[in-house]
């Protein structure tokens, strides 16, 4: 129930990558036949990934993951465009790998506008329009949020950026972090009109350690890894051939099975929410339920804190997340839930359940029972729950 954190590797993906972990170990930069075999495999994967998002193969740059793709996109474009302005627009609910880069740039003299997402967890296009200044060089808004799954108006932002550029502001770029969206909803970069788009392999049933950045032809970007000619000088370093082959295969499967996976996870998610709602009182769903990824459910349980619930569920064999998976272990309540205007108690009691293609009805039913037991137990020791009964 934690597929937004990561996914199991599909057996068909393992089969595809296995030869590149054993016999076909060539370096894709070598001229001899071993190298050329590896090069052909990397190029095939590049086409498979391009095809998932309707891009051209030479617009895909492989990275070590989604975090590096976000770093390369934001820092790369900002360094290239800084002579034209040092203002960036983003949302209040970006993943830490975007949020952190922007905080770093802010400390170095850049101005950041963080757009509100209101109680539904969705940016409003009129706020984006109003935030654009003469010195804005980048808009970075995620495609779908990692905690609540809400889908952002990226197509509208893409059209706005295109129009702004045509009216003379040539140095404005649009980046979207599609790590959670990719493989889960159809993506067409011609439709979204983004200039940069980040992807990660391990969210779509491939191994950890590989991601990609779509860089639209003509977009100026300074590399962040220097010291090699790989990836057309945009990302130095020997390509991780087996991981890239796996990523390509996973992208191909995601494209072929997209509808089926969406229907399956939506059915499981809706079954889960219906049952939780009928079993447990005093809960709040987080994020606009009509506008989110089909596999995510984020619920705040009043009177209790998420970490205790997570450990309870873990002991019953059900894995979930509180806040962002990366921030587990810190005391800070989720900034995403707080951005929805929720009070501290609801932000601390938020849990993300995220379903995958291999989950079953039985998994959902086991999880519902586990959640009901855990919530009841934690509320029995909560002073907040007692106080609510006496008022």
Of residues 257 and 307, the one with the C-beta less far from other proteins: 307
Q: How far apart are the first and last CA of the chain?
A: 35
Site for other proteins in 280-309 (CB under 8 A): 303-305, 307-308
DSSP string across 290-341: TSB-TTEEEEEETTS-HHHHHHHHHHTT---BSS-GGGTTSSSPPHHHHHTT
Q: How far is the CB of 350 from other proteins (least distance, A)?
A: 14
Dist CA 198 CA 66 (whole Å): 6
Q: How far is CA 299 from CA 76, 249, 267, in A?
A: 36, 33, 17
109 is a site residue for other proteins (CB under 8 A): no
Contacts of 372 (CB under 8 A, 6+ apart): 276, 279, 280
Q: Tell me which of 18, 112, 185, 326 is the catalytic residue.
A: 326
Of residues 199 and 378, the one with the C-beta less far from other proteins: 378
Of residues 205 and 303, the one with the C-beta less far from other proteins: 303
Site mask, other proteins, residues 313-332, x = CB under 8 A? Answer: --x-------------x-x-
Active site residue 326: yes
Residue found under tokens 């302005």: 85
Of residues 83 and 389, the one with the C-beta less far from other proteins: 389
Q: How far is the CB of 369 from other proteins (least distance, A)?
A: 15
381 is a site residue for other proteins (CB under 8 A): yes
Q: How far is the CB of 382 from other proteins (least distance, A)?
A: 5
Q: How far is the CB of 352 from other proteins (least distance, A)?
A: 17
Q: How far is the CB of 173 from other proteins (least distance, A)?
A: 39
Dist CA 312 CA 183 (whole Å): 31
58 is a site residue for other proteins (CB under 8 A): no
Dist CA 137 CA 331 (whole Å): 34
For residues 72 and 61, is the Cβ–Cβ distance under 8 A?
yes
168 is a site residue for other proteins (CB under 8 A): no
Angle, alpha carbons 49-53-56 (nearest 5°): 70
Task: List residues near other proteins by CB under 8 A.
Answer: 303-305, 307-308, 311-312, 315, 329, 331, 344, 348, 377-378, 380-384, 386
> Which residues carry out catalysis?
326
């Amino acid at each position: 129930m934690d597929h937004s954190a990561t996914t199991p590797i599909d057996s068909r993906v393992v089969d595809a990558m296995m030869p590149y972990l054993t016999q076909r170990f060539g370096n894709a930069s070598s001229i001899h036949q071993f190298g050329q075999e590896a090069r052909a495999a990397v190029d095939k994967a590049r086409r498979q990934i391009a095809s998932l998002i309707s891009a051209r193969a030479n617009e895909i740059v492989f990275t070590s993951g989604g975090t590096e793709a976000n770093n390369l996109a934001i820092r790369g474009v900002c360094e290239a465009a800084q002579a034209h302005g040092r203002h960036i627009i983003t949302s209040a609910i970006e993943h830490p790998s975007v949020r952190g880069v922007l905080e770093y740039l802010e400390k170095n003299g850049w101005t950041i506008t963080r757009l509100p997402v209101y109680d539904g967890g969705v940016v409003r296009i009129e706020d984006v329009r109003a935030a654009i200044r003469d010195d804005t060089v980048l808009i970075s808004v995620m495609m779908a949020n990692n905690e609540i799954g809400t889908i952002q108006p990226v197509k509208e932002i893409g059209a706005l950026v295109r129009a702004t550029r045509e009216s003379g502001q040539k140095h404005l770029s649009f980046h979207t972090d599609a790590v959670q969206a990719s493989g889960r909803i159809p993506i067409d970069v011609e439709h979204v009109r983004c200039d940069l788009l980040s992807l990660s392999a391990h969210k779509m049933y491939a191994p950890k350690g590989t991601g990609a950045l779509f860089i639209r032809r003509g977009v100026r970007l300074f590399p962040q890894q220097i010291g090699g000619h790989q990836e057309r000088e945009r990302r130095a370093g020997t390509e991780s051939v087996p991981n890239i082959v796996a990523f390509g295969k996973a992208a191909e499967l995601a494209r072929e099975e997209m509808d089926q996976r969406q229907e399956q996870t939506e059915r499981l998610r809706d079954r889960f929410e219906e049952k939780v709602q009928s079993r447990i009182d005093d809960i709040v769903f987080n994020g606009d339920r009509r506008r989110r990824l089909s596999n995510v459910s984020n619920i705040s349980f009043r009177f209790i804190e998420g970490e205790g619930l997570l450990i309870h569920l873990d002991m019953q064999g059900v894995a979930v997340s509180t806040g962002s998976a990366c921030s587990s272990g810190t005391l800070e309540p989720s900034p995403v839930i707080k951005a929805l205007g929720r009070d501290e108690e609801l932000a601390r009691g938020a849990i993300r359940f995220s379903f995958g293609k291999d989950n079953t009805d039985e998994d959902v039913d086991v999880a519902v029972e586990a959640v009901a037991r855990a919530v009841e137990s934690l509320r029995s020791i909560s002073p907040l729950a007692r106080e609510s009964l006496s008022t």
